[in-house]
Amino acid sequence: MTITRRELLAGAGLAIGAAALGALRPGGARAATARRIALTMDDPQHQATPLLEPAERDAKIRAALRAAKVQAALFVTGKRVDDRAGRRLLKAWDADGHLLGNHTYSHRNLNSDDITANWFTADIARGEAVVADRKQFRRLFRYPYLKEGETAAKRDAVRAFLDERGYRVGHVTVDASDWYVDQRLRARLDADPHAALDGYRDFYLAHIDDRMAYYDGLAVELLGVSPPHTLLIHHSLLNALFLGDLIAHLRGRGWSVIDAGEAFADPLYARRPATLPAGESLIWALAKETGRFEARLRYPGEDAPYEAPAMDERGL
């Protein structure tokens, strides 16, 4: 059955460091088999997209979280919200009680040859200045592209800076390519503003299913238990339309959608894999560190070329 644009828009409507993590909500005792996941969202922004105005798009994302009674973590790239509209956006997320973390100011890839550790740490400090005055700011840092340095010297210099600054890394355990699905959806709407979008929703949910099965399966083999996961998604038109569907889908699959603060409080998130190049999903990196999972670890962990053939085949 094809979903109409009116139905899509209606359906879409349906808070960390030792002391710095004091506002985290403690988790209760659970069976070892419990499957838990928190939502973490990168790159809030107010650029124009088809279908929804920026403020409406952001409101729908927050409304979906509010309706589901979920506390997310929003990782802020300073340059995308360093203006009046951006400050309004951060104020709204802060008021809603979601954790706010640092994602640098410029969103540059630390593994790039032209990016030095000194430049990158200065960019972390610049990003912090944009969001640090918010009540829900936590010293949680997420590396752009999940890249943590291609050399030991660069990796360790940035880690030392984060330690000095009182940060913990806002690791991802379940990585995904929702950003690419969003890119394709927006391109379709640019070409045809009346295009049916149910296929993008269905592909998105199936993609998240696939990536969760992969990373959770790897985690269980590696750790002996399914940990409290963190899912990486983005502040996008895709999630303005389908975040409510995603949360309902996760719960329907037996996942408990927990607050981000609860997940990040787990000792797992203090782990520092000694891999090079450093980064990717924390589960991916821990598996890589063992040397026992090489046949199951592609590099990079997630990227557009992995999803393009299936989307092409479906005409998306």
Q: Express each pLDDT in 3-12 by its tens digit.
A: 443 344 344 3
What residue type is 175 in one-letter code? Answer: D
SS3 of the chain: helix, strand, coil, percent, to 5:
50, 10, 40
The correct CATH number of 36-313 out of 3.20.20.370, 2.70.180.20, 3.40.50.2300, 3.40.190.10 is 3.20.20.370
Lowest mean pLDDT among 7-21, 182-196, 199-213, 256-270: 7-21
Distance (Å, whole) CA 287 – CA 270: 15
pLDDT of 189 reads 98
- Dihedral over alpha carbons 27, 28, 29, 31 (to 10 degrees): -70
Confidence check: pLDDT of 26 > 90: no
Q: How far apart are the first and last CA of the chain?
A: 16
Confidence check: pLDDT of 16 > 80: no
- Closest by CA to 300, choosing from 190, 145, 191, is 145
Q: pLDDT-based confidence at 33, cuts 50/70/90?
A: low
Sign of CA dihedral 230, 274, 276, 290: negative
Pair type for strands 278-279 and 147-149: antiparallel
Mean pLDDT value across residues 198-216: 98
Distance (Å, whole) CA 225 – CA 202: 29
If you count them, how many residues does the chain have? 316
Which tokens belong to 217? 């399966």
Distance (Å, whole) CA 218 – CA 95: 36
pLDDT of 21 reads 40
pLDDT of 7 reads 41
The model carries a pTM of 0.90
Confidence check: pLDDT of 287 > 80: yes
pLDDT of 29 reads 39
Q: pLDDT-based confidence at 199, cuts 50/70/90?
A: very high
Distance (Å, whole) CA 174 – CA 207: 11
Q: Are 150 and 109 in contact (CB under 8 A)?
A: no
Confidence check: pLDDT of 123 > 80: yes
What residue type is 183 in one-letter code? Answer: Q
Q: Percentage of the chain with pLDDT > 70?
A: 89
What residue type is 37 in one-letter code? Answer: I
Q: Are 76 and 90 in contact (CB under 8 A)?
A: yes
Confidence check: pLDDT of 1 > 50: no
